[in-house]
Amino acid sequence: MSSNNNRELSFSLAINEAITQLMSADASVMLIGQGVKSPWYVGNTCKDLIKKFGEERVIDTPVSENAITGAAVGAAIAGMKAIVVHPRVDFVLYAFDPIINQAANWHYMSGGKSNVPVVFWLIVNRRGEQAAQHSQALHSVFAHIPGLKVVMPSTSYDAKGLLIASINDPNPVVFIDDRWLYNQKGIVPEEIYEVPIGNGIIRNEGKDITLVSYSYMAVESAKATEKLNKEGISVELIDLRTIKPYDEELIINSVKKTGKLIVADGSWKTNGFAAEIIAKVTEEAFHFLKAPAKRVCLPDLPAPASSSLEIVYYPTWKNIVSTIKEII
Amino acid sequence: MNFSKELLEKLYRMMLRIRHCEESIVEPILDGSVRCPVHLYSGQEAIATGVCANLEKSDYIFGNHRSHGHYLAKGGDMNSMVAEIYCKSSGCSRGRGGSMHLIDVENGIMGVAPIVAGTISLALGAALASKIRKDNRVTVSFFGDGATGEGVLYESLNFASLKKLPIIFACENNYYSTHLHISEIRSNNNISDIAKPFDIPTFKVDGNNVLEVYEIAGKAIDLCRNKGPVFIEFLTYRLRGHVGPDDNIQGTHTDIRPKEEIEHWRKKDPILHFSSYLLDNRIFFKEQLEEIEKQVAEEVINAKAFAIKSEKPPKEELEYYVFKQ
């Protein structure tokens, strides 16, 4: 049990603690993926795991995303709780068959006779002039697929609690984190705990506008909220934490109170997850809206390499502030 | 190799069960009472039968679109399979999977799926689980010659060999990848060579000879359980179409394969071949084989009747089973 309730931990070490504690508690938990031996790939998220649990349960792999992801799915079908990591989310595109065709459909198409307790851990790794294939935000794609749950924490506390919930979930869960969050610190209880999948949280109560965000954009949204509060604009900031299934009630109730909605999402605008939230609000709370709902997203184009273009490509708190001012 | 009479009867009975069951579905496909895509296993029975007869109940298999034979040979219940083909609630996948999604976890039938080569990596993972748990299981991955065109097979061969995983790569080469002859899809026909660069022991077997299949699969499975992956190529031929009885398009009669070729393979029918062996060597009398066939025919009639009288899933259940609660 916790002896220190105010211990701070970085986001990446919160992930490390979640994996370490569950691997200690449950011999069926395994981790597989390219780079688990290498901080260059996975930062310190996998620190000491091989030392503690051995190379049979913590498996670094050849560059074979399709087979390795399929192997994690197969191990889960055979009763393991498998985590498969893709240190750059872009490479998971090689593995859509085991994730979408197999894992997502498996429980349904077997009539509930078999389930897949697998976690697809995908790390988003943007900017740094890395260009279009080291930088993509694919969460809206996964959130479109029935049979997958998709979580996107923004704090150390949620990183640990959501990863534990994901590993313990009997279904496939896509756990997406953002390397921009890795050095952030936050209070993390020492014991094993879960943040329930599907529960959002109000980070700041407000009355003038509802701002919905998740993952790294929740950090930019918090900055925007603080600036606007100083100017007398009261923002209700929701960090969704899970985008499938997402906390519809939390959003609807907030919009009923504020009458205005903005979504800050780290992926492309057209057909992205932000559109889903706005559609849901127009279905469920249309008459409460006092202004058009707005989105702050990536423009509909691939990530550029040059930093002079990156700076306009990635939205920040400033874009959120100016968009809110358009409708307030 | 000496085979016990008991084993020979078991092999014969299983091949007949598969054949009769498959052939019983032909008319329902043609008259529209079976609608889901059905890929009949007729002609390839010796492979599933001979391989699975060497497996323990706890061993795992993964199959593909043409897996009725694998399911039955590994101990799956015929009633549940036929009901699934009819998409009924009493089916092994409760009518959510159809012919291409058979499952029976209790008997180690971990799943079958029609994405070509899609279950090879799943079998790889099940073998990895066995290695981690040291549970002494073997996993057999059944796939066809068409799957040798998919990259994931080569990724899986490499990883299985690298980690010495207890997996059998069982390639049933029936010479056709849907409508295309193997000469149109491969730069060379020697499928049994593909695992060699990965240092995986390889066997090439007459897939229409159940005793040869049984003997080689037995050796391969022993080797696999103790040392790691093994690749087996089984040469065979499907006597029916890629999907449905006669063609790539269900319900039509325009098989694209040469008549002479089909005739050639009809003469090599694994069941005819095996029954001649049993009679010629006076292991069984004709009447005894006929008695087995009578029993099998009755089982198949009962399975079909069970499927027909079962209900389809009620509309209210549409949303069931998306997630395990």
CATH number, domain of A255, equals: 3.40.50.920
pLDDT band (50, 70, 90) for residue A5: confident
Nearest residue on chain A to B102, judged by CA atoms?
A110
Domain boundaries, chain B: 5-236+266-310
pLDDT number for residue A2: 47
Residues A159 and A135 in one domain: yes
Cβ–Cβ gap B324/A77 under 8 Å: no
Asked if residue A165 and residue A266 are part of one domain, the reply reads no
Helices (H), A149-213: 156-168
Among A187, A219, A238, residue at a domain's last position: A187
Do A62 and A181 lie in a common domain? yes
What percentage of chain B reaches a pLDDT higher than 90? Answer: 92
Percent of chain B with pLDDT over 70: 98
For position B258, what pLDDT does the model report?
86
- What is the reported pLDDT for B250? 52
Q: Are residues A178 and A209 in the same domain?
A: no
DSSP B119: T
Q: Is A150 on the interface with B (CB under 8 A)?
A: no
Q: Is residue A194 part of a domain?
A: no
ipTM of the complex: 0.97
> A170 pLDDT band (50/70/90 cuts)?
very high
Averaged pLDDT, A105-128: 96
DSSP A295: E
Please say which residue of A159, A187, A215 terminates a domain: A187
Q: A159 and A14 share a domain?
A: yes
Check CB contact under 8 Å for A74 and B96: no
Cα radius of gyration rounded to whole Å, chain A: 20
- Assigned domain for A2 exists: no
- For residue A110, what are the domain limits? 8-187
Would you say A196 and A189 are in contact if contact means Cβ atoms under 8 Å apart? no
Q: Which residues of chain B are within 8 Å of residue A198 when distances are taken between CB atoms?
A: none
> Between the CA of residue A184 and those of A219, B67, B227, what are the distances in Å?
10, 51, 47
Q: What pTM does this model have?
A: 0.97
Task: Based on the fold, state whether residues A235 and A163 are members of the same structural domain.
Answer: no
Q: For A29-48, what is the mean pLDDT? A: 94
Kindly list the catalytic residues of A. Answer: 65, 134
Is A174 in the same domain as A210? no
A-chain residue closest to B124, CA distance:
A71
Same domain, A157 and A207: no
CA distances to A41, A287, B15, B256 from A250, in Å: 36, 17, 59, 59
Q: Are A155 and A224 part of one and the same domain? A: no
The answer to whether B105 faces chain A, any CB pair under 8 Å, is yes
Q: Do A182 and A209 have their domain in common? A: no
Over the stretch A50-59, which tens digit does the pLDDT of each residue have?
Answer: 999 999 999 9
- Indicate the residue of B105, B121, B322 with minimum beta-carbon distance to A70: B121
The partner residue sitting opposite B111, judged by closest CB among A75, A114, A170, is A114
Sort out which chain B residues have CB atoms less than 8 A from A75's CB and list them. 125-126, 128-129, 132
What chain A residue is nearest to B112 in terms of C-alpha separation? A110
CATH 3.40.50.970 fits B5-236+266-310, yes or no: yes
For residue A73, the chain B residues in CB contact (below 8 A) are: 121-122, 125
Give the count of beta carbons closer than 10 Å to the beta carbon of residue A6. 8
Give the pLDDT confidence score for residue B294 in this predicted structure: 98
Domain count, chain A: 2
Last residue of a domain, one of A153, A187, A221: A187
Least confident of B240-254, B266-280, B306-320: B240-254
Q: What are the tokens at A60?
A: 């670094």
What Cα–Cα distance (Å) separates residue A282 from each residue in A279, A324, B198?
5, 18, 57
Close Cβ partners of B87 (under 8 Å, ≥ 6 residues apart): B35, B36, B95, B98, B312
Residues B82-90 have a mean pLDDT of 98
Q: Output the furthest CA–CA distance in chain B (Å, rounded).
A: 58
Q: What whole-number distance in Å separates Cα of residue A238 and Cα of residue A254?
A: 9
| C-alpha span between B241 and B256 (Å, rounded) | 9
A270 close contact with B: CB closer than 8 A? no
A257 and A229 both lie in a single domain: yes
Residue A125: predicted pLDDT: 87
Q: Could you tell me if residue A58 is inside a domain?
A: yes
Q: Would A193 be classed as within a structural domain?
A: no
A173, A311: one domain: no
Under 8 Å between Cβ of A122 and A226: no
Pair A304, A271: CB distance under 8 Å: no
Query: Token pair 């909220």 is at which residue?
Result: A225
- Could you report the per-residue pLDDT of A182-231, keeping only the tens digit for each? 999 999 999 999 999 999 999 999 999 999 999 999 999 999 999 999 99
- CB-based contact, B120 to chain A, within 8 Å: yes
A–B CB contacts, 8 A cutoff, strictly below: 151
**Is B153 a residue whose pLDDT tops 60?**
yes
* Residue of B128, B157, B198, B311 to mutate when probing chain A, most A C-beta within 10 A: B128
Q: Cα angle at B323 between A200 and A198, to 5 degrees?
A: 0
The shortest C-alpha distance from A129 to chain B (Å) reads 31
| Residues on chain A touching B156 (C-beta within 8 angstroms) | 64, 67, 70-71
Judge contact between A182 and A11, C-beta under 8 A: yes
- pLDDT band at residue A135, thresholds of 50, 70 and 90? confident
In a domain, A221, yes or no: yes
What residues of chain B, 44 to 103, have a C-beta less than 8 Å from chain A? 60, 62, 91-97, 101, 103
